[in-house]
Amino acid sequence: AQSVSQHNHHVILSEAASLELGCNYSYGGTVNLFWYVQYPGQHLQLLLKYFSGDPLVKGIKGFEAEFIKSKFSFNLRKPSVQWSDTAEYFCAVNAGNNNDMRFGAGTRLTVKP
Amino acid sequence: GAVVSQHPSWVICKSGTSVKIECRSLDFQATTMFWYRQFPKQSLMLMATSNEGSKATYEQGVEKDKFLINHASLTLSTLTVTSAHPEDSSFYICSARGGGVGNEQFFGPGTRLTVL
């Protein structure tokens, strides 16, 4: 069964610092990869997604992620975080044509002003 | 983007009662809808997948007689928590996927259930 691992449970950064959140998955076939963000008190929003093509995916709000197939990874990055990026970030994997999506445990990002 | 709504946004009920939560896709037809449960400070756990007009597929460990799912139309799915107990208190989130390309799911805002 597919699984998703997010290694960082809570990350604390100062404004303008660079961000990288790790995401690894276990599945040998074709995968679709997603990063979602959940701001306090709000519902999940899609940051970016990868289905095929260029492994470097750019999303909203200056986020990007790189799919490295050999490492089964899809890490999220942002060069300079803002206080408003404080939120919970979830990596998710959908395997090929399967219906269901598996979520990682989430990483809480706190950005100090 | 596509919009998914949930009703109610929060509900408090007594132990032993049943609660129905609705999930609607407002501007697209959802061939598949998903129900998740999210405990405080934890990730989303998939409970079940439902395709319009057919029985839901439940994840291992999820009691189908307790969590009744109906997907009667392409825009509406309902989750009924039967004989609710305090341990059923949680945040329930639905998502919907259309028939288009990409397997992208659109998430509802969630329903917070508190069972007293």
CA dihedral for B49, A96, A48, A35, sign (positive or negative): positive
Banded model confidence at residue B77, pLDDT cuts 50, 70, 90 = very high
- Using CB atoms, which residue from B1, B32, B108 is nearest to A99? B32
Q: What pLDDT was estimated at residue A43?
A: 80
Whether the CB of A100 is below 8 Å from some CB of chain B: the reply is yes
Say if residues B31 and B99 touch (Cβ distance below 8 Å): yes
Residue indicated by tokens 């963000």: A37
Banded model confidence at residue A41, pLDDT cuts 50, 70, 90 = confident
Q: What pLDDT was estimated at residue A11?
A: 97
Chain B closest-CA separation from residue A22 CA (Å):
15
E-only strand ranges, chain A: 3-5, 10-14, 19-21, 24-26, 31-38, 45-50, 56-58, 64-68, 73-78, 87-95, 101-103, 107-112
Q: What pLDDT was estimated at residue B41?
A: 72
Instruction: Determine the Cα–Cα distance for residues B36 and B4; give it in Å rounded to an integer.
Output: 14
- On average, the pLDDT of chain B sits at 90
Reduce the DSSP state of residue A69 to 3 states and report it.
helix
Q: What pLDDT was estimated at residue A99?
A: 62
Q: What pLDDT was estimated at residue B69?
A: 94
Q: What pLDDT was estimated at residue A97?
A: 60
In the predicted model, is pLDDT for residue B101 greater than 60?
A: no
Instruction: Determine the Cα–Cα distance for residues B87 and B1; give it in Å rounded to an integer.
Output: 35
CA distances from A62 to A79, A80, A104 (A): 8, 9, 22
Instruction: Determine the Cα–Cα distance for residues A50 and A69; give it in Å rounded to an integer.
Output: 12
Q: Which of B85, B100, B91 is nearest to B2 (CA)?
A: B100
In the predicted model, is pLDDT for residue A87 greater than 60?
A: yes
E-only strand ranges, B1-116: 4-7, 10-13, 19-25, 32-38, 44-51, 57-58, 67-73, 76-81, 90-97, 106-107, 111-115
Cis bond upstream, residue B8 (ω within 30): yes
Kindly list the residues from chain B whose CB atom is less than 8 angstroms away from the CB atom of residue A32.
102-103
If you measure CA to CA, which chain A residue comes closest to B3?
A: A45
Residue, of A14 and A97, whose pLDDT is higher: A14
Kindly list the residues from chain A whose CB atom is less than 8 angstroms away from the CB atom of residue B21.
none
Amino acid sitting at position A22? G
Residue pLDDT, tens place only, B79-93? 999 999 999 999 999
Kindly list the residues from chain B whose CB atom is less than 8 angstroms away from the CB atom of residue A36.
107
- On average, the pLDDT of chain A sits at 91
- Using CB atoms, which residue from B1, B41, B103 is nearest to A32? B103
Whether the CB of B31 is below 8 Å from some CB of chain A: the reply is no
Banded model confidence at residue B68, pLDDT cuts 50, 70, 90 = very high
Give the range among A35-39, A92-96, B5-9, B99-103 with minimum mean pLDDT. Answer: B99-103
Q: What pLDDT was estimated at residue A24?
A: 96
Q: Which of B71, B40, B65 is nearest to B53 (CA)?
A: B71
Residue B102 in tokens: 């990409």
Q: Name the phi and psi angles at B75, rounded to 5.
A: -125, 0
Whether the CB of B73 is below 8 Å from some CB of chain A: the reply is no
Banded model confidence at residue B99, pLDDT cuts 50, 70, 90 = low
Chain B closest-CA separation from residue A27 CA (Å):
17
